[in-house]
């Protein structure tokens, strides 16, 4: 019985919240305590939309449709839309933003500006300006939708034009959203436009596109008095979603304007609790507000990063502004439950309901929170707005369970869930991810108010203890990522998703004897930062200092991780240096059709305990996190490997795996192309620059070499990211080590936006 009780208790701890007081006091992010950040563009997965930082927020959004054959309704950011470019060019993370969207011949500019006042986050206005070289017919759809609570009431003009929506909700009180008549640049009404509206219910926000799509009819004719007639598509009656039995949850009111461009449409949100309103935020008043915010942004950008001072030309400064702005404009507010599996659960179980305010790696492909990405994001955002960064950090720490674990990928709510294939949804409660929040915390420590730190501290300590307790390695002062791929026969090298470096080569045969160098270095950093935090708070710090000393002891580091045969630092484990993939005919069962051939791993040399013969990002960790002493006898070899073109050096940045490494650019299965096996990744290159800058500024035998590498690497990285942006319109997830071309998902203004800090030389 006791054993059973113990199991039950352990299982329930996996999905129980951490017992410490939350890092964010209750209500801290609501309209009374943080009115300036209540409304925001916190729906990074749509091209343009806003919501409030509340669990079941009323949302607003934009869709559009070019009225020509084969054109698609645009709404959520999809790579398959093939947009030439889109993203926030200016965004201050709080009050104002400007985005350009290039869709075939169409250019849409979306702008918003907020005006504080009242008790519910104030007012805001939108302006959407469209231009099109071919004066083609375009429809813009503006919508308001509820998410399980609140009430919306359509205000019709002439029975067809949705002129406004009035409403009430738990977080907003009373409000009114007005859709103004389209105007030309000079503010005059456009000559002819056509209006339609939709009033429908959806099973949830994740089905809004479907609801609109299934309400479209092509029976309409655009008939301006002095122009050609044209058939077009508009919302008609909602005919229901085929095959859904889901109960209605979202009330949707949508206003469609169809017109020839150029034209612009403005939308105003007015909060019922704003008592004295000077004038509506519209027309010339809106133009003036937008201009004022734009000027303030430019000034603050220069004060913060000094790129003009450093001599960057305007085009490169705009690139850097866009990188920062799209990270800020990509911030989301998510609410829901993760799905978690612990070793004690047979089935995944729901994690406690939680809210997360976070930046995201990619608005199109990964519009949700990722733990180790966030530490990198906050290196940049902490410079722009330390208070914002502190809030994000606190949100993440409040996701901790009773054991001290934070789930790696945050898929919260129906909209987030709808983007992820089911096999990727479940988070495993033994799986870690690099504790990069410590990286960000170190940047914030100096200016963080003590009461804030004090609230964070118990959680930081538990998090740290969780790593020490669950990711310990086979020997003292070693560490091992848990949760490597379970079925080694399926992969050339079983992946280590926990490390963040997914398919980076590790020991070929996962075992309890592995020692992972990157994790060891991350733990040295964590110990260091935790010690600093403890000292600032007057808490006992000696244990963390001891750990820091042991983990940064260069002799011990060498004994555990220096591979003489590689002349590099490395992982250790049960490893074969000769593995390959082979296509095998499936074994036919009698009387059955022959099964498809499958690819299996073959091991040509028996594995044995040894260092892993991979030279790449992992080998650099003692340098990346500056644990290697400037006078270390190994520093020269590490720098040489970095600078060597047959190994890590490329004209575009450092590649992830040496060109002469056995698994360089090898597929992991027939379906898994190489990922961290050669490409240039910006987060690690940023760490490399930071470290080189550090070594260049300390006395030591390699000081000059470090300075030279620093200059060259910075030049290469910035030059390539800028070139790729200018050519392709995007920042990318990673870059080809042979051509420099952007690869993977885009836009990716998660850690690739660290290029701004590299330009600013802000480490
Ligand atoms: C796949 C498919 C629409 C992989 O940037 C986020 C992470 C990094 O943390 C990690 O280091 N990316 C890197 O190796 C992207 C992970 C995406 C996984 C989800 C689901 C979605 O299909």
Is the CB–ligand 1 distance for residue 424 below 6 Å? yes
pTM of this structure: 0.97
- Residue 694: pLDDT band (50, 70, 90) is very high
Ligand 1 atom at minimal distance to the Cα of residue 424: 20
Q: Is 365 in the pocket of ligand 1 (CB under 6 A)?
A: yes
Residue 245 has pLDDT above 90, yes or no: no
Distance (Å) from CA 420 to ligand 1 centroid: 10
Name the residue at shortest CA distance from atom 21 of ligand 1: 420
> What separation in Å is there between the alpha carbon of 745 and the centre of ligand 1?
9
Percent helix, strand and coil across the chain, each to the nearest 5: 30, 25, 40
Ligand 1 pocket mutation, candidates 361, 518, 682, criterion most atoms within 8 A of CB? 361
**How many A from CA of 409 to the centre of ligand 1?**
9
Give the separation between CA 40 and CA 525, rounded to whole angstroms.
Answer: 34
Q: How far is the CA of 361 from the centre of ligand 1 (A)?
A: 9
Q: Report pLDDT digits (tens) over 269-284.
A: 999 999 999 889 999 9
732 lines ligand 1 (CB under 6 A): no
**Which pLDDT value is given to residue 502?**
98
Residue 589 has pLDDT above 90, yes or no: no
Mean pLDDT of the chain: 96
CA of 497 from ligand 1 middle (Å) equals 9
Q: Is 373 in the pocket of ligand 1 (CB under 6 A)?
A: yes
Mean pLDDT of 150-157: 98
Closest-CA residue, ligand 1 atom 22, reads 420
The set of residues, in sequence order, having a beta carbon less than 8 Å from that of 59 and lying 6+ positions away, is 43, 49, 50, 51, 144, 145, 147, 205
Nearest to 458 by CA among 397, 387, 374: 397
Give the number of the atom of ligand 1 that is nearest the alpha carbon of residue 500. Answer: 11
Query: What would the two tokens of residue 528 be?
Result: 């260091």
CB of 548 shorter than 6 A to ligand 1? no
**pLDDT bucket at 369, cuts 50 / 70 / 90:** very high
- Residue 10 Cα to ligand 1 midpoint, Å, equals 29
pLDDT at position 389 is: 98
500 lines ligand 1 (CB under 6 A): yes
420: Cβ below 6 Å to ligand 1? yes
User: Alpha helices of 508-596 — where are they, by DSSP H?
Assistant: 517-537, 542-552, 554-561
Buried (b) or exposed (e) across 542-557, using 16+ Cβ within 10 A?
A: eebbebbeebbbbebb
Among 264, 285, 284, smallest CA distance to 189 is for 264
Residue 269 Cβ < 6 Å to ligand 1: no
Q: What is the pLDDT of residue 239?
A: 83
CA dist., res. 534 & res. 166, Å (int): 51
DSSP 8-state class, residue 714: H
- Under the banding of pLDDT at 50, 70 and 90, the label for residue 11 is confident
Task: Tell the residue nearest (CA) to atom 11 of ligand 1.
Answer: 500
Q: Is the CB of 502 under 6 A from ligand 1?
A: yes
The residues carrying an active-site annotation are: 502, 733
pLDDT at residue 290, rounded to an integer: 98
Over 80: is that where the pLDDT of 322 sits?
yes
pLDDT score of 57: 97
Q: Regarding beta strands 427-428 and 339-341, do their DSSP bridges make them parallel or antiparallel, or are they unpaired?
A: parallel
Query: 271 with 117: CB under 8 angstroms?
Result: yes
Q: Using CA positions, which residue lies closest to atom 20 of ligand 1?
A: 420
The backbone torsions φ and ψ at residue 713, rounded to the nearest 5 degrees and listed phi first, read -65, -40
**Looking at the predicted complex, does its ipTM rise above 0.90?**
yes
Q: How confident is the model over 92-96, as a mean pLDDT?
A: 98
Cβ(504) – ligand 1 distance below 6 Å: no
CA–CA separation, 492 vs 494, rounded Å? Answer: 7
- Taking phi first (over 0 means left), then psi (-120 to 50 degrees means alpha), and beta for anything else, what does residue 637 get? alpha
Q: How far away, in angstroms, is 500 Cα from ligand 1 center?
A: 9
pLDDT score at 25: 94
């Amino acid at each position: 019985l006791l054993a059973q009780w113990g199991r039950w208790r352990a299982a329930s701890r996996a999905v129980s919240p951490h017992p410490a007081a939350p890092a964010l006091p209750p209500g801290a992010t609501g309209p009374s305590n943080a009115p300036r950040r209540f409304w925001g563009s916190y729906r990074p997965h749509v091209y343009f939309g806003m919501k409030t930082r509340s669990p079941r927020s009323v949302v607003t959004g934009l869709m559009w449709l070019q009225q020509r054959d084969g054109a698609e309704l645009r709404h959520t950011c999809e790579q398959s839309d093939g947009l030439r470019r889109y993203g926030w060019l200016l965004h201050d993370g709080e009050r104002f933003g400007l985005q350009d969207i290039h869709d075939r011949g169409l250019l849409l500019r979306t702008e918003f500006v907020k005006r504080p006042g009242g008790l519910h986050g104030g007012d805001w206005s939108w302006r959407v300006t469209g231009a099109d070289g071919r004066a083609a017919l375009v429809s813009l759809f503006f919508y308001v939708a509820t998410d399980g609570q609140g009430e919306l009431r359509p205000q019709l003009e002439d029975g067809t034009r949705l002129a406004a929506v009035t409403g009430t909700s738990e977080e907003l009180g009373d409000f009114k959203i007005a859709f103004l008549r389209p105007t030309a640049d000079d503010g005059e009404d456009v000559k002819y436009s056509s209006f339609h509206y939709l009033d429908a219910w959806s099973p949830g926000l994740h089905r809004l596109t479907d609801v609109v799509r299934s309400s479209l009819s092509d029976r309409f004719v655009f008939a301006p008095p002095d122009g050609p007639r044209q058939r077009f598509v508009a919302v008609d009656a909602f005919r229901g979603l085929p095959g859904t039995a889901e109960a209605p949850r979202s009330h949707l009111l949508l206003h469609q304007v169809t017109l020839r461009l150029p034209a612009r449409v403005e939308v105003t949100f007015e909060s019922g609790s704003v008592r004295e309103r000077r004038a509506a935020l519209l027309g010339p008043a809106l133009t003036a507000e937008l201009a004022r915010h734009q000027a303030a942004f430019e000034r603050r950008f220069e004060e913060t990063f000094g790129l003009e001072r450093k001599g960057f030309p305007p085009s490169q400064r705009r690139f850097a502004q866009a990188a920062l702005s799209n990270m800020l404009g990509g911030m989301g507010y998510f609410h829901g439950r993760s799905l978690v599996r612990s070793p004690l659960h047979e089935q995944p179980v729901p994690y406690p309901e939680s809210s997360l305010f976070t930046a995201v790696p990619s608005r199109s492909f990964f519009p949700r929170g990722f733990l180790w990405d966030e530490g990198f994001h906050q290196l940049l955002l902490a410079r722009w707005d330390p208070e914002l960064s502190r809030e994000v950090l606190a949100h993440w720490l409040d996701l901790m369970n009773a054991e001290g674990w934070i789930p790696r990928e945050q898929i919260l709510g129906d909209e987030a869930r709808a983007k992820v294939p089911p096999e990727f949804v479940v988070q495993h409660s033994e799986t870690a991810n690099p504790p990069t929040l410590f990286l960000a915390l170190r940047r914030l420590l100096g200016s963080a108010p003590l009461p804030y730190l004090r609230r964070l501290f118990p959680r930081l300590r538990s998090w740290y203890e969780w790593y020490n307790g669950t990711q310990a390695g086979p020997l003292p002062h070693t560490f091992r990522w848990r949760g490597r791929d379970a079925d080694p026969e399926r992969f050339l090298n079983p992946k280590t998703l926990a490390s963040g470096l997914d398919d980076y080569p590790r020991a070929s045969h996962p075992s309890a004897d592995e020692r992972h160098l990157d994790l060891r270095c991350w733990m040295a950093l964590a110990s260091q930062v935790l010690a600093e935090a403890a000292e600032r708070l007057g808490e006992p710090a000696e244990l963390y200092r001891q750990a820091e000393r042991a983990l940064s002891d260069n002799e011990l580091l060498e004994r555990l991780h220096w591979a003489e045969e590689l002349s590099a630092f490395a992982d250790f484990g049960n490893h074969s240096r000769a593995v390959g993939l082979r296509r095998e005919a499936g074994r036919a069962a009698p009387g059955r059709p022959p099964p498809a051939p499958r690819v299996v791993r073959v091991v040509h040399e028996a594995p044995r305990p040894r260092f892993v013969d991979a030279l790449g990002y992992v080998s650099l960790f003692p340098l990346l996190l500056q644990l290697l002493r400037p006078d270390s006898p190994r520093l020269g070899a590490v720098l040489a490997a970095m600078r060597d073109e047959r190994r890590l050096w490329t004209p575009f940045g450092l590649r992830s795996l040496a060109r002469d490494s056995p698994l360089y650019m090898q597929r992991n299965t027939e379906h898994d192309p190489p990922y961290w096996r050669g490409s240039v990744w910006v987060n690690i290159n940023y760490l490399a620059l930071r470290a080189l800058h550090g070594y260049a500024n300390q006395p030591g035998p390699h000081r000059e070499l470090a300075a030279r590498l620093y200059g060259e690497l910075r030049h290469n990285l910035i030059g390539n990211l800028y070139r790729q942006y200018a050519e392709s319109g995007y920042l990318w997830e990673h870059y080809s080590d042979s051509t420099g071309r952007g690869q993977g998902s885009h836009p990716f203004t998660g850690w690739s936006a660290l290029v701004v800090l590299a330009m600013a030389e802000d480490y």
